[in-house]
Amino acid sequence: MRLKDKLAIITGAASGMGRSGLELFAHEGATVVAVDIDAARLDAVVADTRSRYPRVYALAADLTQRDQMRSIIHKAAALMGGLDILWNNAGMAGPAEVEGLDDAAYDRSIELNVTSGILGSAEAVPYMRKRGGGSIVFTSSVSGVVGSQLSPTYSAAKFAVVGFAKSLALRLAEENIRVNAICPGMTETGMLSTFMDRNHDAETVARNTKAFIASTPLGRIARPEEIAHAALWLASDDASFITGVALSVDGGLSAK
Ligand SMILES: NC(=O)c1ccc[n+]([C@@H]2O[C@H](COP(=O)([O-])OP(=O)(O)OC[C@H]3O[C@@H](n4cnc5c(N)ncnc54)[C@H](O)[C@@H]3O)[C@@H](O)[C@H]2O)c1
């Protein structure tokens, strides 16, 4: 078991990549606190997972609210008796436009996509230090390593995540706390349709989706568990000499 006796938090765990990660981390022996804004779906997912793995817990929070982001780390660590792994995974598409940008929508997306992971990491580090090390994983995006015509402000946020992950990795390396980012390509989750649909008619969405798949060397959309496997690897001791990496899990898209 690759996460035997490890204590982990996964944000955005009620669906998509985070949900796959909850199942996978628990299967690999971790105790996991799953965090999400959607309390009903989170409870259902955790109840289902708990029927197979008893040491999984649900904590609902809106991670765009700084006090909630901070306090969730302390609540989770208290519940589990410590913390080894934080997967900062929750994110949102946010606004697609640049001209006529809606300030409130922009602020909310930056709070979730950038700030929540920064604040969560800051609160998590002292717990990891106490246990002699740890692993922080961020979900960035292929849009965090190459520009996104469809979503410039999302891309700005995901580039920021990579910059923070690399910088924090340097700062924490001597304390044996590893920090890495995953950069997924298009992945079959609820967020994908929101991302593609914004302000577009069905024909444009279909054209954009087809173009994205065509530009992906492996020629398809990822399954959420393929991203969760990358997070598992980075979180585990299998990646004990890996820190400061932005790992592309994008079917080769960013290799071009
Ligand atoms: N799906 C893709 O194509 C894709 C590609 C690259 C990166 N990503 C990134 O992957 C991560 C996971 O997204 P996903 O694709 O699994 O989507 P998803 O919509 O399936 O999951 C995101 C989860 O985050 C939760 N969430 C949203 N706002 C929240 C908030 N304010 N507080 C707490 N939880 C909140 C949602 O309820 C949801 O359960 C995100 O960071 C996203 O930006 C997605």
Give the mutation target among 189, 194, 208 for probing the ligand 1 site: most ligand atoms within 8 A of CB.
Answer: 189
Residue 122 lies in a domain: yes
SS3 of residue 73 by DSSP: helix
Residue 207 lies in a domain: yes
Q: What is the mean pLDDT of the chain?
A: 97
Residue 148 lies in a domain: yes
Assigned token pair, 59: 């904590």
Atom of ligand 1 nearest to the CA of 222: 3
Residue 196 lies in a domain: yes
Q: What is the pLDDT of residue 196?
A: 87
Around ligand 1, the residues with Cβ closer than 6 Å are 12, 14-18, 36-38, 61-64, 89-92, 112, 139, 141, 184, 186-187, 189-192, 224
Tokens 């590893």 correspond to what residue?
Answer: 178
pLDDT tens, position by position, 178-225: 999 999 999 999 999 888 888 688 898 889 899 999 999 999 999 999
Length of the chain: 256
Range of the domain at 45: 7-255
Name residue 151's beta-bridge partners.
none
The CATH number linked to 23 is 3.40.50.720
154 classed as catalytic: yes
Amino acid of residue 23 = E
pLDDT tens, position by position, 109-125: 999 999 999 999 999 99
Cα(173) to centroid(ligand 1), Å: 28
Which among 53, 57, 106, 154 is annotated as catalytic? Answer: 154
Cα(110) to centroid(ligand 1), Å: 13
Cα(55) to centroid(ligand 1), Å: 23
Cα(174) to centroid(ligand 1), Å: 31
Assigned token pair, 167: 């910088």
Name the domain count of the chain. 1
pLDDT tens, position by position, 25-48: 999 999 999 999 999 999 999 999
Percent of the chain with pLDDT over 70: 100
pLDDT tens, position by position, 124-178: 999 999 999 999 999 999 999 999 999 999 999 999 999 999 999 999 999 999 9
Residue 1 lies in a domain: no
Report the alpha-carbon distance of residue 158 to residue 142 in Å, rounded: 8
Q: What is the pLDDT of residue 193?
A: 86
Q: What is the pLDDT of residue 234?
A: 98
- Nearest-CA residue for ligand 1 atom 38 is 12
Q: What is the pTM of this model?
A: 0.98
Mean pLDDT of 39-59: 98
